[in-house]
Amino acid sequence: MWYLSQINLMEELPLEDLKEIERMAPMSKIPKGTIISSPGEAPPALYLLKKGKVRLYKLNREGKEFTLGILGDGNIFGEVETFSTGTRDTYVEAMEETLLCVLNKKDFEEFMKERPQLAIKLIGILTERLREAEEMLENLAYGSVQKRLLYLLSKLVHHFGNQKGAYWELDLRLSHQDLAAMIGATRETVSATLSELTRQGVISKERNKRDLRIHRKKMESMMNEK
């Protein structure tokens, strides 16, 4: 499964529910680079991502990382017997300093039993993740590296972009290797493609900064080309 998500699960919860979550699952500050969970090692639990970003990835037989998705504020991940977010066999790494609440199986089930509207919202989040995963797989199967990269950048802008004039800046930093892992390409090919997109004015980098700036209209125009 591959997905990006910036859906805030907790934005509609009343104050009483937020206090109950805090009581059941005190918030922890996770340093950047921490592996929060890994295949076969994480205890059954659900993680509420209050603030920050985490990267989900797998390792192939050669030990190379393949990024499956990025989750932002208000998201949920983890596994219990009665509920799965599709992260059982993945590594989860904090991309920046992250605030997490951890709910065990019993507390989660009791909390959800009394709040059916939250269960419906969770189903909606997982449905959106599945739709996005299927869409990405289609792009990986049939698109060129440039088309795949443009598609990925469009999703990043949608979920993590902040408009600054004609350009959109991403609220996260990704290396060329990170981008390559997300579209099934080599770092060298992605670097060459980014250079070409820079030449055409689709992306821009401020001097002395790694942040990507994306010209959304030019990007969408290029995506629509045959």
Cα–Cα distance, 59 to 40 (Å, whole number): 14
- 3-139 fold: Jelly Rolls (2.60.120)
β-bridge pairing 98-104 and 161-164 = unpaired
User: Could you give the residue range(s) of every CATH 2.60.120.10 domain in the chain?
Assistant: 3-139
- Residue 196: the pLDDT is 95
Cα–Cα distance, 82 to 105 (Å, whole number): 8
- Residue 17: the pLDDT is 77
- Distances in Å between the alpha carbon of 41 and those of 78, 95, 109, 202? 12, 20, 22, 42
User: Could you give the residue range(s) of every CATH 1.10.10.10 domain in the chain?
Assistant: 144-223
- Residue 85: the pLDDT is 62
Task: Give the model confidence (pLDDT) of 158-213 as tens digits.
Answer: 888 899 888 999 888 888 988 888 888 889 999 999 999 999 999 987 654 567 89
Parts of the chain with a pLDDT under 70: 1-13, 42-44, 79-88, 140-141, 206-210, 226
Provide the whole-model pTM.
0.73
- Residue 43: the pLDDT is 65
Tally helices (H) and strands (E) across the chain: 7, 14
- Residue 192: the pLDDT is 96
- Residue 215: the pLDDT is 94
Nearest-CA neighbor of 117 among 39, 10, 200? 10
Q: Could you tell me which CATH number the domain at 144-223 has?
A: 1.10.10.10
- Residue 2: the pLDDT is 45
DSSP 82: T
Contacts within 8 Å (CB) and 24+ apart, 199-203: 202/150, 203/153
- Residue 1: the pLDDT is 43
